[in-house]
């Protein structure tokens, strides 16, 4: 089976994808600098998979560190998760974001080209669509100038990879635009472990649920939506991981640019999320309304039919599954991988 280099494979989505790659018979190799991950995740992956997954500590911005992996292994394809992802932080640290994300991706693509590896799968985001003109979002929806350096790096990397494919037509470039990944592996062994105060909704909710934080602030209840709170397309991280396996199965060695939305196609409001989570918890999650957060789009959800028709992939986990698995992970690991 094919050997797949997974940059950022120790992170949240990367670790779940490594597990599903092993299950599907691929041979993943993890490459990560642990800037936003803990080494403990490697043992957890081993517990789930029943075998150790090869691992290199390194930074994608350092050519020689990546080249060593390609020199020592025949890499058939790369799934590229490594990067910085905090929208708010990126506003204050734009250079760090362009360096890690855009420059890091450039170095990675250069190493791939030099070593003749032609399969590239990239973690893009629905953020490339900006504030949508129409919903649901299809892959044809216009790309809008991002309202954060983070979002702009996703757009820049998409263009860079497409331009490389144009110059080297035998490359297969897959751009996967994720909607809102949440939840955790059902074992409760791996999950999302943000450092500091969580920026994202689900980890904030789970930390309130286990008593690490007092109360969830819902940012804005005066949006033009049925209940006044923002709408997103939340997708279980295991479905997302399986989306990568489906993309590999379909696009490996298939020259061209392949773009897919990975979402469920269903939008839920922040209040819907609080209700669903409270049901799993058995009592109401402490929450209050707070002012709007700068930069939030009102509503965003996918038309995921292209992935269904071409990859044979659909998200199957329900909102209850997402809440149950996220809570199970946080209950088992109240302080994340530090336990």
Nearest to ligand NAD of 32, 272 (CB atom): 32
Tell me if 181 contacts ligand NAD by CB under 6 A. yes
Name the DSSP letter for residue 128.
G
Name the DSSP letter for residue 146.
-
Tell me if 305 contacts ligand UFG by CB under 6 A. no
**Residues touching ligand NAD: how many (CB under 6 A)?**
28
Is the separation of the CB atoms in 87 and 226 below 8 Å?
A: no
Look up 98 and say whether it is catalytic: no
User: What does the per-residue mask of binding to ligand NAD show for 81-100, with x meaning CB under 6 A?
Assistant: xxxxx--------------x
Question: Which residue's C-beta sits nearest to ligand UFG?
Answer: 230
Q: Cα(241)–Cα(124) distance, rounded to whole angstroms?
A: 14
Least distance to ligand NAD from the beta carbon of 200, Å?
6
Q: How many CB atoms lie within 10 A of CB 39?
A: 12
> Of ligand NAD, ligand UFG, none, which one sits near residue 232, judging by CB under 5 to 8 A according to partner kind?
ligand UFG
> Of ligand UFG, ligand NAD, none, which one sits near residue 217, judging by CB under 5 to 8 A according to partner kind?
ligand UFG
Tell me if 236 contacts ligand UFG by CB under 6 A. no
Nearest to ligand UFG of 200, 249 (CB atom): 200
> Of ligand UFG, ligand NAD, none, which one sits near residue 218, judging by CB under 5 to 8 A according to partner kind?
ligand UFG
Give the C-alpha distances (Å, rounded to integers) separating 22 from 3, 72, 190, 240, 245: 10, 20, 15, 15, 10
Which residue among 150, 178, 204, 268 is the active-site one? 150
Tell me if 13 contacts ligand UFG by CB under 6 A. no
> Of ligand NAD, ligand UFG, none, which one sits near residue 206, judging by CB under 5 to 8 A according to partner kind?
none
Tell me how many degrees the CA angle 162-168-173 measures, rounded to the nearest 5: 40
What DSSP element (H or E) covers 330? Answer: helix 319-332
Structure tokens at 314: 């659909």
What DSSP element (H or E) covers 96? Answer: helix 94-97
Could you tell me which of 69, 47, 166, 163 has the C-alpha nearest to residue 115? 69
Active site residues: 150
């Amino acid at each position: 089976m094919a050997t797949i280099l997974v940059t950022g494979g120790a992170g949240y989505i990367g670790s779940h994808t490594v597990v599903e790659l092993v299950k599907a018979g691929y041979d993943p190799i993890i490459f990560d600098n642990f800037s936003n991950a803990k080494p403990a995740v490697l043992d957890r992956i081993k517990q789930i998979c029943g075998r150790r997954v090869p691992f290199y500590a390194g930074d994608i911005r350092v050519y020689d560190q990546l080249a060593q992996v390609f020199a020592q292994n025949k890499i058939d394809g790369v799934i590229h998760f490594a990067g910085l992802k905090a929208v708010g932080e990126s506003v204050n640290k734009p250079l760090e974001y362009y360096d890690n994300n855009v420059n890091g991706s450039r170095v990675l693509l250069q190493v791939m080209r030099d070593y003749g590896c032609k399969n590239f799968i990239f973690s893009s985001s629905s953020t490339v669509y900006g504030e949508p003109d129409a919903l649901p979002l299809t892959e044809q929806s216009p790309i809008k100038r991002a309202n954060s350096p983070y979002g702009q790096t996703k757009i820049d990397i998409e263009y860079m990879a497409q331009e490389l494919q144009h110059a080297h037509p035998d490359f297969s470039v897959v751009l996967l635009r994720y909607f809102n990944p949440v939840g955790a592996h059902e074992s409760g062994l791996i999950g999302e472990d943000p450092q500091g105060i969580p920026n994202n909704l689900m980890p904030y909710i789970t930390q309130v649920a286990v008593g690490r934080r007092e109360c969830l602030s819902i940012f804005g209840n005066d949006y033009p939506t049925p209940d006044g709170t923002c709408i997103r397309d939340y997708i279980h991280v295991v479905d997302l991981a399986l989306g990568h396996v489906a993309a590999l199965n379909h696009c490996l060695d298939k020259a061209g640019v392949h773009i897919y939305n990975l979402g469920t196609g269903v939008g839920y409001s922040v209040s819907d999320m609080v209700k669903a989570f409270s049901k799993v918890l058995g009592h109401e999650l402490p929450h209050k309304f707070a002012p709007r957060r700068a930069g939030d789009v009102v509503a965003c959800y996918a038309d995921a039919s292209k992935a269904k028709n071409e990859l044979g992939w659909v998200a199957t986990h329900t909102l209850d599954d997402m809440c149950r698995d996220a809570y199970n992970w946080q209950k088992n690991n109240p302080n994340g991988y530090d336990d």
